[in-house]
């Protein structure tokens, strides 16, 4: 039985193997043929891409050559115009037809950008603002940089005072003392302030801030209201202090010539030192002081460099201001607390007044020993006419008189140059007087 089965299966298996071998052979043949067709297709695609790239390269090369020729033509035309005396900066000729770009601006669009204000009031929006509203807005939006009374904070600009300094070598130029047109203040504040929040002020707020700055400069009374109708009528203190600049016509042609580069000096010497030195105190602001150094041993300069580099003198350590022993008094805990509070209040006065050891006159006089002293009696300071008149009338700075003055300086003494608007809180006034007393009375 087994033998007979082997005779049956062996032929079957042999036939199957033969069929499979033939099938594999045909499959390999078909795969090779397909592979060849695929490679031929890819070669055709690569050749097509190469042809397109070659065409693009030739087109770009041709365009570059055309542009080079155009540039040469433009340069040649410009050289010819210069040779013939033509003005290369003249306006372009007006074309009869438009270029077809964009559209005409609408009136509303032009008005949105046309916000500049001129000295005669043109460009001002309708609005108004009074001094007291201006003080509130100024304290909230401007005081962090310019101080609550426009006296300047840290190194930020002072906006008030300086009227009697314009003839000095180091004048204090403020909105009140120097600016010729009120429109400059309104326009700048409206466009650029507050710092970091430009354009957020309303027209009424801007009018109010400008009114407060005028009041801080003692140019208006505290009931003044600025509006678009009376704006152009206001005349600034220094409006006549400027002249038309005619130097382009009268001077520039005298020194705008080709520089001489022959027979130069072999050596140049520094013959004098700076007249002023500017100190920047830690609490902010700056003081301009005379430079008493002599011009000895100043360097000379040549093509090889300076003859020597002078070594800066070491700056002595700043000694902390101490209360003189003769002025120290035994005070109660309450008085000590008031004096400490008064020292904080005095920060509002620091931009104009100094106190303590080594105090000097600034915009205002040094205040050592002011309580109990006669008004206008500090030696070496030039007082306003109003203060001089009060001194001649016998005014003495008692606690009561000083308190009344600090509350509303401009109302207490008409004509005072003091730009301080006043302290509203009686506790601040009391604390400040106690603090002043610790420096003599």
Q: Are residues 159 and 228 in the same domain?
A: yes
Residues 153 and 53 placed together within one structural domain of the fold: no
* Domain shared by 54 and 130, yes or no: no
Q: List b or e across 170-185, with b for residues whose CB sees 16 or more CB atoms inside 10 angstroms.
A: eebebbbbbbebbbeb
Which CA distances in Å does 90 have to 86, 94, 188?
A: 9, 12, 33
Domain presence at residue 314: no
pLDDT confidence bin for 16, thresholds 50/70/90? low
For residues 300 and 267, is the Cβ–Cβ distance under 8 A? yes
Residue 209 has pLDDT above 60, yes or no: yes
Greater confidence, 2 or 115? 115
More confident residue, 66 or 329: 66
Asked if pLDDT for residue 268 goes beyond 70, the answer is yes
CA angle 58-61-62, nearest 5°? 85
Sequence-distant (6+) residues with CB within 8 A of 178 are 162, 166, 171, 238, 241
Would you say residue 273 lies in a domain? no
Residue 130 lies in a domain: yes
Position 325 scores a pLDDT of 43
Residue 267: strand, helix, or coil: strand
Whether the per-residue pLDDT at 340 is higher than 70: the answer is yes
Check if the beta carbon of residue 430 is closer than 8 Å to that of residue 337: no
| 362 class by beta-carbon count within 10 Å (0-12 exposed, 13-18 middle, 19+ buried) | middle
pLDDT of residue 21: 55
Tell which of 233, 250, 267 closes a domain: 233
With respect to residue 251, please indicate whether it lies within any of the assigned structural domains.
Answer: no
Q: What is the pLDDT of residue 412?
A: 85
Structure confidence by residue, pLDDT tens digits, 271-301: 777 766 666 555 555 566 676 767 666 777 7
**Together in a domain, 148 and 38:** no
End position of a domain, from candidates 50, 68, 86? 68
Residue 376 lies in a domain: yes
| Residue 64 sits in the same domain as residue 167 | no
Q: Specify whether 229 is located in the same domain as 122.
A: yes
Tell me if 186 is assigned to some domain.
yes
Q: Write down the pLDDT at residue 317.
A: 54
Q: Are 256 and 280 in contact (CB under 8 A)?
A: no
Q: Is the pTM of this model over 0.85?
A: no
Residue where a domain terminates, one of 31, 48, 68: 68
Work out how many domains the chain is built from and give that number: 3
54 and 136 housed in the same domain: no
Q: Which of 170, 179, 190 has the alpha carbon at shortest distance from 219?
A: 179
| Closest to 352 measured CA to CA, from 338, 362, 342 | 362
Tell me, yes or no, whether 213 lies in a domain.
yes
Q: What b/e readout covers 51-90, taking b as 16+ CB neighbours within 10 angstroms?
A: eeeeeeeeeeeeeeeeeeeeeeeeeeeeeeeeeeeeeeee
**Which one is predicted more confidently, 6 or 353?**
353
pLDDT at 210: 96
Residues 60 and 130 in one domain: no
Rounded CA-CA distance 382/195 in Å is 35
Listed in sequence order, the DSSP H helices in 84-114 are 107-113
Return the pLDDT at 94: 66
Question: What pLDDT band is residue 174 in, cutting at 50, 70 and 90?
Answer: very high
Strand 300-302 to 267-269 pairing? antiparallel
- The tens digit of pLDDT for each residue in 243-258 reads 888 888 888 877 777 7
Instruction: Tell me the residue range of the domain where 422 lies.
Output: 325-437
Mean pLDDT of the chain: 79
- CATH number for 431: 1.10.760.10
Residue 261 counted as domain residue: no
The band of 225, judged by pLDDT with boundaries at 50, 70 and 90, is very high
Residue 195 or residue 207, greater confidence = 207
């Amino acid at each position: 039985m087994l033998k007979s089965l082997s005779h049956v299966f062996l032929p079957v298996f042999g036939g199957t193997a033969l069929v499979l071998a033939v099938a594999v052979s045909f499959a390999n043949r078909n795969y090779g043929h397909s592979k060849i067709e695929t490679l031929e297709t890819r070669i055709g695609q690569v050749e097509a891409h190469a042809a397109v790239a070659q065409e693009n390269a030739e087109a770009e090369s041709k365009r570059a050559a055309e542009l080079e020729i155009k540039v040469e033509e433009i340069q040649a035309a410009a050289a010819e115009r210069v040779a013939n005396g033509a003005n290369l900066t003249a306006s372009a000729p007006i074309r009869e037809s438009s270029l077809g770009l964009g559209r005409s601006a609408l009136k509303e669009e032009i008005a949105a950008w046309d916000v500049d204000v001129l000295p005669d009031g043109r460009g001002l929006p309708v609005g108004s603002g009074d001094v007291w509203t201006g003080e509130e807005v100024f304290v909230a939006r401007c005081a962090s940089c310019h101080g609550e009374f426009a006296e300047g904070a840290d190194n930020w600009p002072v906006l008030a005072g300086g009227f009697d300094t314009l003839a000095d070598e180091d004048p204090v130029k403020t909105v009140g003392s120097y600016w010729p047109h009120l429109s400059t203040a309104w326009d700048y504040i409206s466009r650029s302030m507050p710092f970091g929040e430009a354009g957020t002020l309303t027209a009424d707020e801007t009018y109010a801030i400008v009114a407060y700055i005028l009041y801080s400069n003692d140019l208006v009374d505290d009931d003044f209201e600025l509006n678009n109708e009376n704006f152009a009528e206001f005349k600034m203190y220094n409006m006549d202090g400027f002249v038309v600049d005619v130097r382009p016509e009268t001077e520039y042609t005298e020194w705008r010539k080709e520089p001489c580069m022959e027979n130069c000096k072999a050596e140049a010497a520094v013959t004098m030192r700076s007249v002023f030195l500017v100190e920047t105190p830690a609490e902010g602001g700056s003081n301009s002081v005379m430079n008493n150094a002599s011009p000895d041993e100043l360097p000379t300069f040549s093509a090889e460099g300076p003859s020597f580099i002078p070594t800066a003198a070491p700056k002595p350590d700043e000694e902390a201001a101490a209360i003189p022993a003769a002025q120290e008094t035994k005070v109660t805990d309450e008085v000590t607390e008031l004096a400490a509070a008064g020292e904080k209040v005095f920060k509002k006065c620091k931009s104009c007044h100094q106190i303590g050891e080594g105090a000097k006159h600034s915009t205002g006089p040094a205040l050592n020993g002011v309580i109990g002293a006669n008004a206008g009696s500090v030696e070496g300071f030039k007082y306003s006419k109003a203060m001089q008149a009060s001194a001649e009338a016998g005014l003495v700075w008692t606690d009561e008189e000083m308190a009344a003055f600090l509350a509303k300086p401009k109302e207490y003494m008409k004509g005072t140059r003091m730009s301080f608007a006043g302290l509203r809180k009686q506790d601040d006034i009391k604390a400040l007087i106690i603090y002043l007393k610790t420096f003599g009375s």
